[in-house]
Amino acid sequence: MIINHNLSAINTLNALGKNTQATSKSLQKLSTGYRINGASDDAAGLAISEKMRGQISGLKQASSNAQDGISLLQTAEGGLDQTHSILQRMRELAVQSSSDTNTADDRQKIQGEVDQLAKEISRISNTTEFNTQNLLAGGLSDTFHIGANANQNIAVSVSAMDAQTLGVAGNVVTAASVKNNSGATATVNISNVSRSLDDKKKYDVKLISNTAATISIGKTQTYKNAGSAASITLVGVDGYTGTTDANYLVKVASVSTTATAVNSISYSTDNGVSWTTVNGTFTATSGVSVNGIGIKFGAATVAAGDTFAFSVKAAQTTFQLQQGGANIGSNVTVHKGDTSVVIGDTNLDKTVTLAFDSKLVGSRSSAATASFVAKSTVSTAAVLNNKDVAVNAQVQAGINVSTQANANKAITAIDKAINSVSAQRSQLGAYQNRLTNTIDNLNTSNENITASEARIRDVDMSSEMMTYQKNNILQQAATAMLAKANQQPQSVLQLLQG
């Protein structure tokens, strides 16, 4: 028997410490509900569960994003619903005006309501917003993030739904923006007024109008082909927007006016030019010609689908196009590499957008003055300078029910506007249905991943309670035995006393 070291007490103390630690662990798990409260509890399990937690939180936020997207789309559709109602009323008025039981005064009053309804359509387009974002004015191209990981998106776009875009506006004028050599911007407005542009800059002008027009540009500007393709396309139907894409090189010298009725087109070829005419019948009463400016048809009315094309077989070719004996496009120099000029529907109540890509060779030494005279809002003009620039000059007649014929045209135009709004609403509805299904899928994924994370990280309460009870009993037993072990050295005193 030894007394310097009580080995029984030491062993019992170690057992008591282990039992106390195990009991504390069980208490922590039972109080938090987690099996893993730190990396030491399960290092691999902690890493896996943390990744799952990232997925779970991402899925929850993605579901919220999708809900926000649905709210945005519902807001846009609400505006279009009202637009639909207005268009239906406009159609009703157009049908009413198409009957000759109405007097001119009656139709004027109907026209007044139509104009106000068109303004309301544009107001709805310009003021329908979600979180300060305009939804119906055009340019909306949003991306909804609807997943827990990167690049899990849905792209949503909404077209412009204003009266002008839908083709049911009243008289609408859009300015033409021109950039000069210094990078400054000049604006030309065309709406029953004369507007002059005179700032001693270098401008070349192309003007198409239903009335006589004058252009004075000083000395001749010469453009040289850079070898790129050339094309002009005018498309559209009465009252609707058409576009013109031009990548063509022009030489502007002077302007003259013509008023010769034409109903056919003649052509000539020279020096390797091959010209083909398809369905080339024209009707017109007036036109404006600009010497040396590509292919120019003035105010001629061309049926949709009419096509005129030429090909260049030599390095440089000169040809002249005549319309019913009236010179409508003086000599045009065509370089090898140019391809075609295609003319579609060019009725003057279209909006025409022209984009020019040209390069200037040489310079101008004198000032340039361009004067635009438009006595009617039914006209189209384009202004370009000696740098590569896109120019928009748009004047659109809009809906007119002042006569029986115009009212019939208005019905067709409004029907097309209704179809455009219906198509956009259908697209918005499809987006909403997709997002609804996305939310259902996100919620299901969230449920399954949460269950998986719980199996890894959560504690089994019944099993852990059994462990706690066991460790608690062992702790109490070790405490009692430690007391007994501490009493063993007392027997040495009995030996000493005996």
DSSP 110-157: HHHHHHHHHHHHHHHHHH-EETTEESSSS-EEEEEE-SSSTT-EEEEE
- pLDDT-derived band at 101 (thresholds 50, 70, 90) equals very high
User: pTM score, two decimals?
Assistant: 0.53
What is residue 398's predicted lDDT score, i.e. its pLDDT?
66
Residue 483 pLDDT > 80, yes or no?
yes
Residue 485 pLDDT > 60, yes or no?
yes
Strands 282-283 and 301-302: antiparallel
Architecture of domain 53-163+404-448: Up-down Bundle (1.20)
Residues 6+ apart with CB under 8 A from 219: 364, 365, 366
What is residue 1's predicted lDDT score, i.e. its pLDDT?
61
Angle among Cα 79, 172, 302 to the nearest 5 degrees reads: 110
Distance between CA atoms of residues 105 and 100, nearest Å? 12
Query: Closest Cα to residue 204, out of 369, 394, 393, 372?
Result: 369
Distance between CA atoms of residues 277 and 308, nearest Å? 5
Residue 103 pLDDT > 50, yes or no?
yes
Distance between CA atoms of residues 328 and 263, nearest Å? 13
Residues 6+ apart with CB under 8 A from 248: 230, 231, 232, 294, 338, 341, 356, 358
> In terms of pLDDT, which residue wins out, 309 or 7?
7
Q: What would the mean pLDDT of 15-44 be, rounded to a whole number? A: 91
pLDDT (tens digit, 9 = 90+) per residue, 48-83?
A: 999 999 999 999 999 999 999 999 999 999 999 999
Average pLDDT over the chain, rounded to an integer: 65
Q: What percent of the chain has pLDDT over 70?
A: 53
pLDDT (tens digit, 9 = 90+) per residue, 367-411?
A: 333 333 332 232 333 333 333 333 333 334 468 899 999 999 999
Residue 443 pLDDT > 70, yes or no?
yes
Distance between CA atoms of residues 311 and 316, nearest Å? 11
